[in-house]
Amino acid sequence: MRLGFFLREALGSLRRNWVMTMAAVITVFISTVILGSVLVMGENLDRGATSLENRVMIEVFIKDDATPQEQKAFQQKVLAMSQVKEVNFVSKEEALDRFRETVGDYITKNLATNPLPASFEVYVKDADQVDAVAALFYDEPIVSHTPGTQDGVQYAAKTVRRMLRTIDLIRWGMWGATALFAAAAILLISTTVRLSIFARRREVEIMRLVGATNWFIRWPFVIEGFAAGLIGAIIGALSVYLVNWAVADWLKNSVDYLDAYVYPLWWQGDTWPLGLLPTLALLGGVLGAAGGLVALRRYLRT
């Protein structure tokens, strides 16, 4: 294979047919941006859901007259449960502090005594087990219920579960959208390449008459397609990264309970061994090259 010659041929025609080159680059760019956005949004949603699941917490309010020993014993008993990940003790003073932070000084400074109970914050390992775990606490003697109710144990069961279900739904929707956009991207790219080759079919015919083998004709087109695809996809991947970074930055500063995430550009272990965005860039190149091959087929038939 005469790599030098093919590279020169490919570069030359990329430059000469710059309008078509631009069309191909822009097509791949747009496809990459759409695909990349969907994937990155999906990933953020995943992380959001995970962090939400991690935050499923049961508040157990305890009686004011419980002794430190009783508290300690209860804490250890809860920690020993296999479903429990973590237990934090919130004393009456801390509870008051937190209350003060949310409502302001002027209410709390008029209080004669501290009306807020101490509590334990129990984090479970699996959000699905929250009901079962909470049920274990209702009859504990240390728990302070308002008489006739079970309000000493509180957790956001229904809300959390509904949110998780919604997120699951959105996640599936995202995957559907990804598949759809991927298909659209492939179609768009192959159409663009076909157009550009149609414009040059006379050239291909002449090459064949001079005795060029099919691969001799193909290589420059394949390199062209790869280069155009790669350039478009790299610009697209970088744009997705920058926008993601800007949005995540803005979210972190304005909505503090949201754990928005800047996608790592070059490394992302499990799902994308090469990193999502480099994978996208490479995919753009391969798609471009494949587009070239497929579109040429019609003109290389003898």
* C-beta closer to other proteins: residue 103 or 212: 212
Residue 5 in contact with other proteins, rule: CB under 8 A: yes
Residue closer to other proteins (CB basis): 183 or 195: 195
206 binds other proteins (CB under 8 A): yes
Task: Work out how close the CB of 198 gets to other proteins at its nearest, in angstroms, rounded to a whole number.
Answer: 15
Q: Which of 69, 109, 209, 254 binds other proteins (CB under 8 A)?
A: 209
For 33, half-sphere exposure in the C-beta direction (CA atoms, 13 angstrom radius) is: 13
Q: Which residue from 101, 139, 151, 203 is in contact with other proteins, where contact means CB under 8 A?
A: 203
Contacts with 246 (C-beta within 8 Å, 6 or more apart), sequence order = none
Can you list the alpha helix ranges (DSSP code H) found in the chain?
3-16, 18-54, 68-79, 92-103, 105-108, 130-135, 157-198, 201-209, 214-254, 276-300
| Cβ nearer to other proteins, comparing 119 with 196 | 196
Name the 3-class secondary structure at 259.
coil
Binding track over 273-302 against other proteins, x by CB under 8 A = -----------------------------x
Distance CA 88, CA 59 (A): 10
| Cα–Cα distance for residue pair 137/76, rounded to 1 Å | 13
Q: Is there binding between residue 212 and other proteins (CB under 8 A)?
A: yes
Rounded Cα–Cα distance for residues 121 and 70 (Å): 16
Instruction: Please state the closest distance from residue 212 (CB atom) to other proteins, in A.
Output: 5
For residues 224 and 12, is the Cβ–Cβ distance under 8 A? no
**In the bound complex, what is the minimum distance in angstroms from residue 229's beta carbon to other proteins?**
22
User: Would you count residue 12 as binding other proteins (CB under 8 A)?
Assistant: yes
Q: Which of 89, 123, 216, 245 binds other proteins (CB under 8 A)?
A: 216
Question: What CA–CA distance (Å, rounded) separates 174 from 238?
Answer: 21
What are the two backbone dihedrals, phi and then psi, of residue 301, each rounded to the nearest 5 degrees?
-70, 140
- Mark the segment that binds other proteins (CB under 8 A) among 47-55, 81-89, 116-124, 206-214: 206-214
Instruction: Tokens for 103, please give them.
Output: 């409502």
154-167 burial: b if 16+ Cβ within 10 Å, else e: ebeeeebeebbeeb
Q: Which lies closer to other proteins via its Cβ, residue 128 or residue 203?
A: 203
5 vs 198, beta carbon nearer other proteins: 5
Report residue 269 as tokens.
């272990």
Residues 230-259 that bind other proteins (CB under 8 A): none
13 binds other proteins (CB under 8 A): yes
Residue 110: CB atoms within 10 A of its CB come to 7
Q: Per-residue DSSP letters for 100-157? A: HHHH-HHHHTT-SS--PPPEEEEEESSGGGHHHHHHTTTT-TTB-PPTTS-TTEE--H
- Calpha distance 71→205 (Å, rounded): 88
Q: Which stretch binds other proteins (CB under 8 A): 89-97, 205-213, 231-239, 270-278?
A: 205-213
Number of residues that bind other proteins (CB under 8 A): 19
CB-nearer residue toward other proteins: 93 or 205: 205
Applying CB under 8 A, among 68, 141, 147, 211 the residue interacting with other proteins is: 211
Return the range that interacts with other proteins (CB under 8 A); candidates 84-92, 150-158, 176-184, 211-219.
211-219
Contact positions vs other proteins (CB under 8 A): 2, 5, 12-13, 16, 202-203, 205-214, 216, 302
